[in-house]
Structure 1
Amino acid sequence: MKATGVFLLLSLALCCYQGNTVTDGDADKGTEAACDNYDLSKGCTKIFDPICGTDHHLYGNECLLCFHNLRRNTNVRIKNRGMCQKPCSNSARD
Structure 2
Amino acid sequence: MPWIIASFFRLLRLFAFMFSVLTTPLYVAILTYHYELIPKELLETLIISRSKVPFPPLIEALFLEITIELLREAGARLPTKVGLTVGIVGGIVIG
Q: Into which bin does the TM-score normalised by the smaller protein fall?
A: under 0.3
Structure number with greater Rg is 2
User: Which has a greater percent of helix?
Assistant: 2
User: Which has a greater percent of strand?
Assistant: 1
Say which structure, 1 or 2, has more relative contact order (CA 8 Å, 6+ apart): 1
The TM-score normalised by the length of structure 2 is 0.25
